[in-house]
Amino acid sequence: MNEHGTAASSLFPTYARFPVTLVKGEGSWLWDDQGNKYLDFMCGLAVTNLGHAPEQVKQALVRQLDELWHVSNLFHIPNQEVAARLLTEHSCADAVFFCNSGAEANEAAIKLARRYHQQVLKNGRHEIITFSQSFHGRTLATLTATGQDKVKEGFQPLPPGFKTVPLHDEAALEAAISEHTAAILIETVQAEGGVNLVEPAFMHRVAKLCKEHGLLLIVDEIQTGMGRTGKLFSYEHYGIEPDIFTLAKGLGSGFPVGAMLAKAPLREAFGPGSHGSTFGGTPLATAVVKATIETMISEAVVDQAADAGQYLLARLRDQLADNPFVKEIRGLGLIVGIACDGAVGDLVTAARDRGLLVVTAGPQVIRLLPNLLVSRSEIDQAVDILVGLLAEQTVTTRGSNA
C-alpha cells in the first residue's frame, strides 16, 4: 500500500503521469473514466495523426487480426512489401527496414551508416555528429546522440563515437568533421527541444558538407514525418534528399511501428544477418502502415494539414501578438510551439482542467500537436482556451511584480 492507502503500482515510476485515465477516443476527442471530454492537441505525442480510431486503419487491422498475427522475418510478409513500396514511391528512399519504435529506427540508421563506411567503403569511419537540444531516443546509442544532458544522467559510461555541436553553428560543425566522421544526424524541427526549426540555409550547408566530405546525411523524421509538417516528410520543405531517414509515431496511427529508409547504394551494407528485429514489420504492423499511407494519399491529408497549420499559426499570432508573456509562436504545419517568458507546466495543467490536452517542449514552450484532420472549429476552441489562460498568466505575472 502507498501513503494514500491504495495499492502501489507494479510499474516502474518512469513517467510523471497526469492524474487522468483516458478510456475512449474518436477523431480529435478523448474521454476519461469519469466521463470528462478533452480536445486532444497532443495526439499521443504526434502519433495519432489521422485522429483516434480512424476507420480505414481500424478495418485493415481487424481484417489482419482474423488472418495472421506473426510468423517472423524468416518468411516473406506481403504487407511488408506493399508498405515498403508505398514509402519508397512517395519518398527519395529505395529501401526500408521495419522495426518497432523511433529509437530502434534511429539505432538502425546509426548502424547502417557505420556498416556502410566500414564494410562497403572500407574506410573505418564511425563517428556521428548531432546537435544540441536534439532528441533521438532512449537506447544507449540514441540517448548518447541526443543533445540534451538530462536524458544521459546515470547511464555512464556512454558509448563512444558521437559528437554534439550547437545548432546553426557552421564553424563548430565544420570543426567537428574529421577523418572518422561517418554521418550527420539532424532533425528538421527539434520537437522535444523546444519546437526549434532548422534554418533552410543551415540545412543546405549540412547537406553540402556531407557531399564534400563523403558523409551520410541522416534526417530524424520520427516526430515530423507522416504529414505532421504539411509535407509527407519534412525534408521536402528544404529541397534536400537525405541518404537515410527514420520514421515512427504517425507511421502506424497508434500501432507501434518504426522504419528506417535509405537510398539504394546503402542496401549493400545490410545483407542477411547484419541486422534484425523479431517484431519488426509483422503482418499486423504493416497492415496498419499500408492503410495509414493509403488513407493519407486518398484523402489528401497532408494538404489538409498544411492548410490547418497555417490557420493555427495565424490565429495564435493574431490573438497573442500583444501578450508580453509570449515571446514567439513558431512551428511548421501542425507542430507548433508557444515560447513563453517563464515556466509553462502550470498552464498545461490549467488547459487540461478546461478540456484541452497540450504538452510542453522544454520548461518554457507549450507544444501543440493536433491530428492532421483537425477542423477549424476545433482549432478555434483550442486557441480560445490558450489565449484565455495566457491572458490570465499575464495578469498574474504583473501582479507578482507589483
* pLDDT, tens digit, 9 for 90 and up, residues 325-358: 999 999 999 999 999 999 999 999 999 999 999 9
Q: Which residue has the higher pLDDT, 247 or 395?
A: 247
- φ/ψ bin of 51: left (φ > 0), alpha (ψ from -120 to 50), beta (otherwise): left
Q: Is 144 helix (H, G, I), strand (E, B) or coil?
A: helix
For residue 185, which amino acid is it? Answer: L
Report percent pLDDT > 70 for the chain: 97
Question: What are the cell numbers at 113?
Answer: 551508416
Compute the C-alpha angle 239/376/355, nearest 5°: 110
pLDDT of residue 2: 57
- CA dist 139 and 145 (Å) reads 10
Q: Which of 94, 243, 260, 93 is nearest to 183 (CA)?
A: 243
pLDDT digits (tens, 9 = 90+) for 171-207: 999 999 999 999 999 999 999 999 999 999 999 999 9
pLDDT of residue 7: 77
**Mean pLDDT of all residues in 105-127:** 98
Beta-bridged to residue 32, according to DSSP, are: 22
pLDDT digits (tens, 9 = 90+) for 44-78: 999 999 999 999 999 999 999 999 999 999 999 99
Same fold yes or no, 22-48+300-401 and 55-298: no
- CA dist 228 and 205 (Å) reads 24
Residue 3 buriedness (CB in 10 A; 0-12 / 13-18 / 19+): exposed
CATH topology of domain 55-298: Aspartate Aminotransferase; domain 2 (3.40.640)
CATH topology of domain 22-48+300-401: Aspartate Aminotransferase, domain 1 (3.90.1150)
Rounded to two decimals, the pTM is 0.95
Q: What is the end-to-end Cα distance of the chain in Å, rounded?
A: 46
| Residue 151, φ and ψ in degrees, nearest 5 | -80, -10
**Mean pLDDT of all residues in 6-24:** 92
- CA dist 385 and 351 (Å) reads 7
Q: Which of 361, 350, 343, 358 is nearest to 400 (CA)?
A: 343
The torsion angle over the Cα atoms of residues 248, 356, 198 and 340, rounded to 10 degrees, is -150
Question: What are the cell numbers at 171?
Answer: 564553424
Residue 1 predicted with pLDDT over 80: no
Cα 15 → chain centroid: 18
> Angle at which helices 301-319 and 283-298 pack, to 10 degrees?
70
For the chain, give every domain's residue range. 22-48+300-401, 55-298
Report percent pLDDT > 90 for the chain: 96
85 Cβ contact list (under 8 Å, min separation 6): none
- Radius of gyration of the chain measured on its C-alpha atoms: 22
- CA dist 16 and 9 (Å) reads 13
Residue showing cell 540514441? 142
Residue 137 predicted with pLDDT over 70: yes
Question: What are the cell numbers at 219?
Answer: 534526417
Identify the band that residue 402 occupies on the pLDDT scale cut at 50, 70 and 90.
very low
